[in-house]
Amino acid sequence: MKTFGIDITSADIIDNLSFFDSWDDRYRYIIDLGKELPAMDTIDHIDENLIRGCQSKVWLSSENRAGRLYFNVDSDAFIVKGLLAIVMAAYNGKTPEEIRAFDIQGFFESIDLMRHLSTTRGSGLQAMVARIQSLAA
Amino acid sequence: MKSVPQTAFDVQKIRADFPILNQSINGKPLVYLDNAASTQKPQAMIDAIVHYYTHDNSNVHRGAHTLSDRATARFESARKTVADFINAKSTGQIIWTRGATESINLVAASWGGANLKAGDRILVPALEHHSNIVPWQMIAEKTGASVVAVPVDETGTIDMAALKALLDDRVKLLAVNHVSNALGTINPIEQMIKLAHAVGAKVLVDGAQAIAHWPLDVQAMDCDFYVFSGHKLFGPTGIGVLYGKRELLEQMPPYQGGGEMIETVSFDGTTFNQLPYKFEAGTPDIAAAIGLAAAIDYLNLQDRAAMAAHEDALLAYATAKALAVPGLKIIGTAASKAAVLGFTLDGMHPSDIGMLLDQQGVAVRTGHHCAQPIMQQYGIPGTVRASFSFYNTFEDIDRLFVALEKVRQLLS
């Protein structure tokens, strides 16, 4: 299994998404990315890990190993889970300094589909980003 | 292949009056099936607002000049249009608010604050919108009254036997929607009002989801309060209506203080204005009131019976198609329903379905529809809700189901 943030980087995501011509291929790719996320144990589906303000349920837990932040994320919706995988490509395994320095909105802006979905309140994307940024603060 | 039903109603002619419908979303012609959230606007309504700001804009009830007189005349004539539309006895019983939600909050704070005490009960059916639950919980908290849920069965029908059993002299108010926003159930309002009145309780009817569908007669209905939002009646956002029986409105204390709602003000004391101004502190949304009246004028020119028959045919057509989809479960199967098809698809999250429908130009609402108690009863996080208006076509519904098939391919 590939590790997001290490084997799959934000640049890979931009490359891969630009390769597809049709919307359904792009969505299929995002859904498949979600399936590649390491499974989150349902024992971690606790309120403390739940991110509020999303239409679907989104969970995030994190640990700091040797100065790098590693995240475990999950959602009960497939597309949202794929979007979380894309966020992980940018943030997972990075130092707090790297997380703070990364231009996530610029990253979203560079992908047509993400530009649209990141402003959809229901997608929970911005709430996830805010949680990660506060963990890296 | 089932043939598309035909109705006498000329939907293409009607659609030409709604400019927003003529556009593409994500490269596909828009299919707008989110009418329970907000309806689209006829050109006549849009023109009325442009005309007001272009020619008549001024503050109302104040100025000693022509523009103010003109604005006031149009604003008050809008009130008369609304009064006639719901057959209210007088314009003094039509209070402008920002929407159905504010209308309910006004009644809860003003009527509830003055009339509720510890031990009193407010009955609220389990299928209500949060707007018709939370204001009652807030005033109950302040007064010591309690909010009691009226059970709803698995079809989404209010349990009338349970309602009768709950109605006793502790009940001071029944707050019920005319049509459920999440399920589409048409509630037996007239019968519920009679039952509530028999024990001396007042009844507030939330008409937000009913007002767009059929003509209304608040006097025949005999409700004590009726509320609705302009934007769900082809009018602008920011304007809503509270209708109340005169004797109740007369007795109620003002809701907010400020200009317009007073008669005289001094530091020794203030006397309040007459109805409806007593409840209209501050400068109102004049343009929106005029816009709402234009939307009603537009409706009054149409054959509303034919429109309602068309909407019923759309719902029946969509329901028949939905029943043929494997794994699709309709949420809300009451015998009497209005223009709402809520459903779940096995193993698929409503939010995923909504995003993928949008990609195909189909606008629906997904989620709990601000009705979490009834979603909890069904044990689901939410539904996909397609809601119809008279400008929808049978082809719109075909497009929805073709798009759903694509969603299934992507998600399974």
pLDDT tens digits, one per residue of B47-77: 999 999 999 999 998 778 999 999 999 999 9
Q: Is residue A64 part of a domain?
A: yes
- Residue in B26, B381, B410 closest to A28 by CB: B410
pLDDT digits (tens, 9 = 90+) for B114-173: 999 999 999 999 999 999 999 999 999 999 999 999 999 999 999 999 999 999 999 999
d(CA B224, CA B226): 7
d(CA B186, CA B206): 12
d(CA B243, CA B227): 6
Q: Are A99 and A133 in contact (CB under 8 A)?
A: yes
Please state the ipTM of this predicted complex. Answer: 0.89
Q: Is residue A3 part of a domain?
A: no
Catalytic site residues of B? 370
Q: Is residue A125 part of a domain?
A: yes
Res. A112 pLDDT band, cuts 50 70 90: confident
pLDDT digits (tens, 9 = 90+) for A50-61: 887 667 888 999
Q: Indicate whether A110 pLDDT > 60.
A: yes
Contact residues, chain A, for B406 at CB < 8 Å:
24
Q: Indicate whether B42 pLDDT > 70.
A: yes
Q: Is residue A81 part of a domain?
A: yes
Look up the domain containing A44 and give its range: 10-135
3-class DSSP assignment, residue B97: strand
The residues, ordered by sequence, that sit 6+ positions from B288 with a Cβ below 8 Å of its Cβ are B49, B230, B235, B236, B237, B238, B239
Q: Indicate whether A13 pLDDT > 50.
A: yes
d(CA A25, CA B257): 57
pLDDT digits (tens, 9 = 90+) for B315-324: 999 999 999 9
How are beta strands B340-345 and B362-363 bridged, if at all? unpaired
- Catalytic residue, candidates A8, A54, A104, A128: A54
User: For residue A122, what pLDDT is reported?
Assistant: 60
Q: Which of B353, B383, B404, B410 is best to mutate for the A interface (most A CBs within 10 A)?
A: B410
Q: Are B135 and B105 in contact (CB under 8 A)?
A: yes
User: For residue B7, what pLDDT is reported?
Assistant: 63
What proportion of chain A, given as a percentage, has pLDDT over 90?
53
Type of residue found at B285: D
Question: Minimal CA–CA distance to B213: which of B385, B390, B394?
Answer: B390
The chain-wide mean pLDDT, for chain B, equals 95
3-class DSSP assignment, residue B340: strand
Q: Is residue A118 part of a domain?
A: yes
User: For residue B3, what pLDDT is reported?
Assistant: 59
What count of other Cβ atoms lies within 10 Å of the Cβ of residue A120?
A: 16
Min distance A2 CA to chain B CA atoms (Å): 22
Hey, what domains does chain B have and what are their CATH numbers? 11-32+303-411 (3.90.1150.10), 46-300 (3.40.640.10)
- Would you call A54 a catalytic residue per the annotation? yes
In chain B, which residue's Cα lies nearest the Cα of A79?
B352
d(CA B14, CA B41): 11
Q: Is residue A58 part of a domain?
A: yes
User: For residue A62, what pLDDT is reported?
Assistant: 94
- Domains of chain A: total: 1
pLDDT digits (tens, 9 = 90+) for A64-108: 999 999 999 999 899 989 999 999 999 999 999 999 999 998 998
d(CA B244, CA B223): 8
Q: The tokens of A35 are what?
A: 């399936």
Q: Where are the beta strands (DSSP E) in B168-325?
A: 171-177, 202-206, 225-229, 240-244, 262-266, 269-272
- Interface contact B359-A77, CB threshold 8 A: no
Question: Minimal CA–CA distance to A13: which of A27, A1, A30?
Answer: A30
User: For residue A55, what pLDDT is reported?
Assistant: 75
Mark out the alpha helices in B149-285 (DSSP H runs): 160-166, 189-198, 218-221, 246-251
Q: Is residue A2 part of a domain?
A: no
Q: Does residue B144 come out as left (phi exceeding 0), alpha (psi in the -120 to 50 range) or beta? A: left
- Interface contact B406-A27, CB threshold 8 A: no
SS3 content of chain B, % helix, strand, coil (to 5): 45, 20, 40
User: For residue A117, what pLDDT is reported?
Assistant: 74
- Interface contact A79-B355, CB threshold 8 A: yes
What count of other Cβ atoms lies within 10 Å of the Cβ of residue A40?
A: 18
d(CA B181, CA B208): 8
Q: Which of residues 7-36 of B touch A (CB under 8 A)?
A: 26
Q: Indicate whether A121 pLDDT > 90.
A: no
How are beta strands B171-177 and B202-206 bridged, if at all? parallel
- Interface contact A122-B26, CB threshold 8 A: no
Q: Are B225 and B207 in contact (CB under 8 A)?
A: no
CATH number at residue A64: 3.90.1010.10
> Can you tell me the mean pLDDT for B33-54?
98
User: For residue A120, what pLDDT is reported?
Assistant: 67
Q: Is residue A1 part of a domain?
A: no
- Interface contact A80-B352, CB threshold 8 A: yes
Cis peptide bond prior to B276, omega within 30° of 0 = yes
User: For residue B263, what pLDDT is reported?
Assistant: 86
pLDDT digits (tens, 9 = 90+) for B381-411: 899 999 999 999 999 999 999 999 999 999 9
> Can you tell me the mean pLDDT for B35-40?
98
Min distance A79 CA to chain B CA atoms (Å): 6
Between A128 and B180, where is the model more confident? B180
Q: Are B260 and B275 in contact (CB under 8 A)?
A: no
Q: Indicate whether B1 pLDDT > 60.
A: no
Question: Minimal CA–CA distance to B363: which of B40, B25, B22, B12?
Answer: B25
